[in-house]
Amino acid sequence: MQMNTLQQVDILSSEFRANPFPFFAQLRAEQPVYQTALPDKTNVWLVTRYDDDVVSLLKDERFANSPYNGMTPVQLNKRPEMHPLLCPLERNLLELDAPDHTRLRALVHKAFTPRLIEQMRERTQTLADELLDIVASKGKMDIIRDYALPLPMTLITEILGVPIEDREQFHKWSKVIASVYPFHNNNWRIFPALERFNLYLRRFFKMRRAAPKDDLVSALIVAEEAGDKLNEDELLAMVFLLLVAGHETTVNLIGNGMLALVEYPDQMEKLRRDPSLIKSAIEELLRYTSPGLISSERYARENVTLHGLTIQRGEVALGVIGSANRDETVFRNADTLDITRENT
C-alpha cells in the first residue's frame, strides 16, 4: 500500500478490518501519528506505536474521554445534537473522566462481588460445555453463530437477571444495538430497537427496585458508596456497556483466535499436546488478534505535540491497539503467533 493511497482507507469498514496490519506497519514506520477522516467526516489522529504513543495516550491526562472535558465551548456548539435516545448512553465508563469515572467505577465494583464472579466462572464453563455438546453430534459448527456469540450474550442476560421468557427478544435488540457501536445520529437503523429496549430496561429497573433479586441489575441498584447510588441513566449506560463489550471483544477474541490457530496448525497442535499453555495462549491471541482494535476516542484538553505533529485542543486521537500489539520494537517476530511467547 503506497502512502498516497492512505487517505482512501476507511478504518471502520469490514474490508479494512479483515487485514489492517500491513497498513498499521507502514504507519509505524513512516507516519506513527497520522490524521485521517471517518466516514462521517470526523477528523481523527491515529497513534500507532507502543510505548511512547499508544500506552502513553491511554494514560495521558492531557487527553479526556469525554468531549465535554476536551473541546472548547465553540467546538461543542458545532457538534451535531445527540439524539435523545443516545444521550443517556454517554454516561458509560468509557466516555467519562474523573471524578465521574471514579465514582461510577467504585459503585460498579461494589456490585461485582467475589461471589458473583465465582458464579460467572461456573456458569461460563457449564454453558461452554452445553454449546459444544449441541454441535458435537453434527461434526461441524459455525464458530460465531453456534458458540462465540451465544456464549457471552447468554451469560450477560443471565447475569443481568433478564427473565427467560424475555431473553430471545433481548438478544435480538442487543445484536442490533451492539453491532453499530459507537453510537451516532446517523445510525438510524438502531433507533426502533433502541427505543423498545430503553422502555423495557426502565420497566425492568422499576421491577428490581421494588423487588430485588440475586442478579447484577439488583446489585447495581442497591450498590452504594459514601451515600451515593447509580441513577437510572447510569444504569442504562452500564447495561449497554456490558452488551457492547460482550458482543464485540468476546466474540472477536473467540472467532479470530480460533481462525489464528487454524492458520497456525503447529500452535494448535502445541496447545492440544499441552493444555497448560492455555493462559499464555490467550495472552498471545489477545496480542495477535487484538479484539479491541482501536481505543475509544480521546479528546485533547490542550495542544499536544507528538512526533513533530500537533494535535489541537478538542481534536480526537485514537490509540491503535492492534498496531501497538504488532510493534516490532516490542515484540520479536510480531506478525507471528507464538503461544509460548514470554515478552510482553
Concatenated DSSP letters for 283-321? HHHHHHH-SS-SPPPEEESS-EEETTEEE-TT-EEEE-H
Q: Could you please report the per-residue DSSP string of 59-120?
A: H-TTEESSGGGTS-HHHHHHSPPPPTTTGGGGGSGGG--TTHHHHHHHHHHHHS-HHHHHHH
Please report the pLDDT score of residue 183 as a whole number.
56
Question: Are 161 and 208 within 8 A, CB to CB?
Answer: yes
- Per the structure, how many domains does the chain have? 2
Taking residue 280's Cβ as centre, other Cβ atoms within 10 Å add up to 15
Inside any domain, residue 2: yes
| Residues 209, 340: Cα–Cα separation, whole Å | 48
224 and 104 within one domain: yes
Q: Could you please report the per-residue DSSP string of 203-270?
A: HHHHHHHHS--SSHHHHHHH--BTTB---HHHHHHHHHHHHHHIIIIIHHHHHHHHHHHHH-HHHHHH
59 and 3 within one domain: yes
Please report the pLDDT score of residue 259 as a whole number.
96
Q: Of 263, 281, 312, at which residue does a domain stop?
A: 263
What's the predicted TM-score (pTM) here? Answer: 0.88
Inside any domain, residue 268: no
Q: Of 245, 263, 281, at which residue does a domain stop?
A: 263
CATH number, position 238 = 1.10.630.10
Q: Of 263, 280, 307, at which residue does a domain stop?
A: 263
Inside any domain, residue 225: yes
At 70, which amino acid appears?
A: G
Question: Are 81 and 90 within 8 A, CB to CB?
Answer: no
Inside any domain, residue 273: no
Inside any domain, residue 277: no
Question: Are 161 and 111 within 8 A, CB to CB?
Answer: no
195 and 143 within one domain: yes
247 and 301 within one domain: no
Inside any domain, residue 27: yes
152 and 105 within one domain: yes
Domain boundaries, position 300: 1-65+291-344
Please report the pLDDT score of residue 294 as a whole number.
93
Quote the radius of gyration of the chain (alpha carbons, Å).
21
Inside any domain, residue 121: yes
| Residues 30, 102: Cα–Cα separation, whole Å | 38
Inside any domain, residue 278: no
Give the DSSP H/E element, type plus range, for residue 163: none
307 and 192 within one domain: no
Please report the pLDDT score of residue 4 as a whole number.
43
298 and 230 within one domain: no
90 and 239 within one domain: yes
248 and 111 within one domain: yes
| Residues 322, 292: Cα–Cα separation, whole Å | 7
CATH number, position 319 = 3.30.43.20
Question: Are 330 and 51 within 8 A, CB to CB?
Answer: yes
Within 13 Å, how many C-alpha atoms sit on residue 215's CB side? 20
109 and 34 within one domain: no
pLDDT in tens, 249-274: 899 999 999 999 999 999 999 999 99
Taking residue 306's Cβ as centre, other Cβ atoms within 10 Å add up to 18
pLDDT in tens, 19-58: 999 999 999 999 999 999 887 788 999 999 998 799 999 9
Grid cell listed for 124: 461460563
Greatest distance between any 2 Cα atoms in the chain: 62
191 and 228 within one domain: yes
Beta partners for residue 319, in sequence order: 47
Question: Are 292 and 249 within 8 A, CB to CB?
Answer: yes
> What string of pLDDT tens digits covers the 344 residues of the chain?
344 445 567 887 888 888 999 999 999 999 999 999 887 788 999 999 998 799 999 999 999 999 999 999 999 998 888 888 888 888 888 899 999 999 999 988 888 888 888 888 999 999 999 999 999 988 899 999 999 999 998 999 999 999 999 988 888 888 777 766 665 556 677 788 889 989 999 999 999 999 999 999 999 999 877 688 899 999 999 988 888 777 788 999 999 999 999 999 999 999 999 999 999 999 999 999 999 899 999 999 999 999 999 999 999 999 999 999 999 999 999 999 999 998 65
Please report the pLDDT score of residue 7 as a whole number.
54
Cis, peptide link before residue 84, omega less than 30° from 0: no
205 and 141 within one domain: yes
